[in-house]
Structure 1
């Protein structure tokens, strides 16, 4: 299934799930955002850890969130933290990201 099809009608639920882990400003990027996703593509999601939550969200939390997002959507999810993104990746992702 295409990720773009998998998230139809679920964006509010996806956003709420991400925010329940303490993240803010969830967005999609990559092939799903650009409309070039295919069956089997992963769903690239990006969110920010706000200042008050830094040090409180672990890698285990992120793995659990990814698993919950995959169960909700039925597609592989690649969850990324915007605060930890390398500088060289920021410009292209900023241009293509779509807020949830």
Structure 2
């Protein structure tokens, strides 16, 4: 059976996760296998970094969506300007067409 515990050797030292192998005998003699310094803080930092990466990915996707929307808006605006130019040319030619 494995038992885990946290221990701190002094008030200013980092926490250590201690994994113990416990014999399943009446004496319950415990043997320390290995201490991992600052495991909980490392896991919390990893989770924070992963959350930050997810946020940046979401912002990048939103930026790409907005840029695509802006490009579509610019395309439609250019089409509208071309349509207005053609209508203005037609209006300029209307008096000439009436003369013939």
Note whether the superposition's TM-score is higher than 0.5: no
Which TM-score bucket, shorter chain as reference? under 0.3
Structure (1/2) with the larger helix percentage: 2
TM-score (norm 1): 0.18
TM-score (norm 2): 0.18
Which structure is larger by alpha-carbon Rg, 1 or 2?
2
Q: Which structure is richer in relative contact order (CA contacts within 8 A, separation 6 or more)? A: 1
